[in-house]
Amino acid sequence: MAVTARLPSRLHHTAFVSKDLEATRHFYEDIIGLPLTATWCEVDELFGKERVYCHLFFGLGDGSALAFFQFANAEDQAQFGPELTPSPFRHIAVNCDQTTQDEIKGRLAKAGYGEAETYVLKHGYCTSLYVTDPNGMILEFTVDTPEAPEKATERQAKAHSELARWLAGDHRSNNEYR
């Protein structure tokens, strides 16, 4: 059983490396609508070498942020860059209401992101709009169902026993929606 501990209050920021900070800024600020809240231009001794980089922050409604780095040196960019094997299991998911999700979908369409570049998936407990940013990062805008808070309480009560069941080899689905 987990020890009861004080929890962090919220996500402060996530951090990713960008291929092109201006393309990243355009996507997150001009299309998605997240304000650019800070730009840090930095020179630091990191991992045994002086690194020169720029670090952007895009604000979310709760005060947290999505952050992106780009390195001035091509070798640093190659060492830390975003060229990971794309995977739908590596993504950023942010919560929003239906109106916000619809507005983002509209802005994406207006910017030329069609059905080939976006998709909606109904998970049962939420409905998600997916799009890939200019860095290859998948971004998910999630709208919870009205019963999600009640279901979250139920899921938390069973979380340890369901994990133990699955780890023991019982791989039955417990998503009653799908």
pLDDT in tens, 69-112: 999 999 998 888 877 666 676 789 999 999 999 999 999 999 99
Strand duo 126-132 + 118-122: pairing: antiparallel
Measured between alpha carbons, how far is 73 from 138 in angstroms, rounded to an integer? 26
140-175 pLDDT, tens digit each: 999 998 988 888 888 888 888 998 898 898 888 888
> Residue 178 contacts by C-beta under 8 Å, 6 or more apart in sequence?
123, 124
Name the percent of the chain in helix, strand, coil, to the closest 5. Answer: 30, 35, 40
How does the average pLDDT of the chain come out, rounded? 88
Q: Which domains does the chain have, with CATH numbers?
A: 13-144 (3.10.180.10)
CA distances from 61 to 11, 12, 34, 127 (A): 11, 12, 9, 19
User: Which tokens is 34 given?
Assistant: 């997240």
- Is-above-0.85 flag for pTM? no
Measured between alpha carbons, how far is 70 from 93 in angstroms, rounded to an integer? 22
